[in-house]
Structure 1
Amino acid sequence: MNDFPAPETLGTLALARETYGKLLAAFHEKDGQTSQLKADLEAANELVDESATALAQAQTDLKAKAAETDQAKRDLSTAKQTIQSLETQVGSLETTVSDLKAAAKSAEEEAAEICASVGVDPLQIKPDDTPEQPDLMAQYRAIEDPGQRTAFFRKHKDKLLSRR
């Protein structure tokens, strides 16, 4: 406004018109700037709204992840307790197995004593360490020569037919 003359110095209509034109041009310039500022303010408000929505969604997601983490921690704690319980049970079962093995040995000894007391020699019964009978059907199927296959079938006919 410093570019404009004071109203008391406006003595002529031409000078008043010139000043009015300058004022009007300054008004339009400021009005354009105001419109731009309003548009910028609206865009900034939209960005704030979008940011607030994104922040709210991020907070919701964070709460959900925190709940999942808490549940996973509880599950882990439960699993650790279960593992400890199972390890205790395994230890107890191992002790029981070793006690039963010891009792089984003493039962064998007791049986030998009972047999000896009645005058009978105890039999040594132990698991058979010989391998199981070979699978005759698998052997039969593995033979490719027809003559050998027939001979093998005739030799083991009863066992092959009884296995079916």
Structure 2
Amino acid sequence: PIVVTTTARDSMWGPTFPELVEALPGIKIIDRSTVNAWDDPRVAAAIEATGRKKLIIAGISLEVCAAFPAITAIGKGYEAYVAVDASGTFSDTKREAGLLRMQQAGVIVSDYATLMVEILKDNARPEAAAVYNALDMPWATLVGQISKAYGKQSAAA
């Protein structure tokens, strides 16, 4: 399940990125005024309604939009993972401070591809190829090509 939220879409911060809306057809985007997404009762209820205890969080601003709800989630007994490379920042200093703050609070910081592969768990699953293709990782493609070429050489020997 996916919970998507935005802040002050019709006033202060402007519309949600059209690319995000397009990528998430049928997903309701909760517009809120609170800085910490978790402080909006609709967002908190939507997260709780998923029944999940492990959350992957990303935000426009790593140090605010991702960090605040991730830290709150930890305090409420969830496991919070933040996809660092799926989150933006306002400066390197803010990014580093946000990372430190989250780590001190017990948030697990990672990159999106590692989190997706961790969820996959087993490369024998039928959807494994689709997951790796969606991740668009050139090194994974290279490893696959090397493996395929090596397999052909071994078969010929």
TM-score bracket, normalised by the shorter chain, equals under 0.3
Larger radius of gyration: 1
Q: Which has the higher strand share?
A: 2
TM-score (norm 1): 0.20
Q: Which has the higher helix share?
A: 1
TM-score (norm 2): 0.21
